[in-house]
Amino acid sequence: MRAAPGPREAVAVLGSAPATPTPAAVRRGLAWGFLGIVTFSGSLPTARLAALHLDPLFVSLGRALVAGVLSALLLAWRRPRLPAGQEWRWLAIVVGGVVIGFPVLSTLALRHMPAAHGSVILGTAPLLTAAVAALIARERHGLAFWAASVAGCALVVGFAVWRAGEAGVRTGLAPGDALMLTAVVLVAFGYVAGGKAARTLGSWQTICWALVLCLPLLPLPVWWARPTSPVPAASWAAFGYQSLVSMFLGFFAWYRGLALGGIARVGQVQLLQPFMSLALSALLLGEAVPPPLWIVAAAVVGCVAVARRAV
């Protein structure tokens, strides 16, 4: 892996406009991004499986605690340079978005909805990631992109409102839908900030430093939410996947992909995630996946495909 630039070079790069990736870099970025999304596809199904017998707070913060300890060991072994300048700001956003915000809110949301339902809402992540990239990473998109983005988000929100009405909720979004949508917004900010930091800091260094930053805050709430009765092995296995793969190894590939190929371009690889998550929800949890879920997921993917061509 190529060494990350020094602190002065990092600050200079962070302050400049993003360079256009070469075709070869885009291809490598898409490959790394795809690998990351394959690992993330199991995040919602395993989070729901773990939360069946573990407190959601223990699942969401406990996985960050385990990954944070692994990160500290890896940083101590490899001894990379410290983050510099604006990299600290990007890392703070990563902490709020992908280390704490998304895991906590999405795990709470899964107490109110099947993982398959949450996977469809998560289908808006690539659109929101590209939109946030335009806001804070200075990536620019045309009218076709924004039209597709609005259409995709409207489909998901409309579907969530319709499902809430079917369940007897008359005030718009059900609590689980609102939590999951908020989680997706936060993770989009975390993805973009991580992609920005990874350009100069390095992919695995970015997630490791973010995890170590919040490590002192985690032991007390994790201890408070610890299980007090026996937990089935399946829930512990799901928690292990959350800790080692979803919160740790998956980001090595994902942030490297975003840094190499461009945040908006590689972010669209997430269009595959709803389908893989729906299949895993049926396989691991035995959840029924009704036709409307597949139809909405396909429609969202269509919007994302249009947005991808417009980027």
Residue pLDDT, tens place only, 280-298 = 888 888 877 778 777 877 8
**Domain range for residue 91?**
24-224+233-310
Tell me if 294 is assigned to some domain: yes
pLDDT band, residue 105 (cuts 50/70/90): very high
For 56-72, write each residue's pLDDT tens digit: 999 999 999 999 999 99
Q: For 95-174, where are the alpha helices, taking DSSP H only?
A: 102-109, 115-121, 125-136, 143-166
Give the residue with greater pLDDT, 127 vs 203.
Answer: 203
Q: Flag whether pLDDT at 141 surpasses 50.
A: yes
State the pLDDT at residue 15: 38
Whole-number pLDDT of residue 67: 97
Q: Residue 136 and residue 253: Cα distance in Å, rounded? A: 22
What's the pTM?
0.82
The two structure tokens encoding residue 226: 């610890």
Cα(167)–Cα(112) distance, rounded to whole angstroms? 11
Domain-embedded: residue 14: no
| Maximum Cα–Cα distance across the chain | 57
In a domain, 264, yes or no: yes
| Within a domain: 4 | no
Task: Domain count for the chain, please give it.
Answer: 1
Choose among 209, 211, 201, 198: nearest CA to 256. 198
Backbone angles phi, psi at 279, to 5 degrees: -65, -40
The 8-class DSSP code of residue 137 comes to S
Compare 220 and 117 and report the one with higher pLDDT.
220
User: Has residue 239 been placed in a domain?
Assistant: yes
For residue 163, is pLDDT > 80? no
pLDDT at 9: 39
pLDDT tens sequence across 252-282: 999 999 999 888 778 878 877 877 887 888 8
Q: Please, what is the angle between helix 56-78 and helix 102-109, to 10°?
A: 150
15 occurs within a structural domain: no
Tokens 């039209």 found at: 147
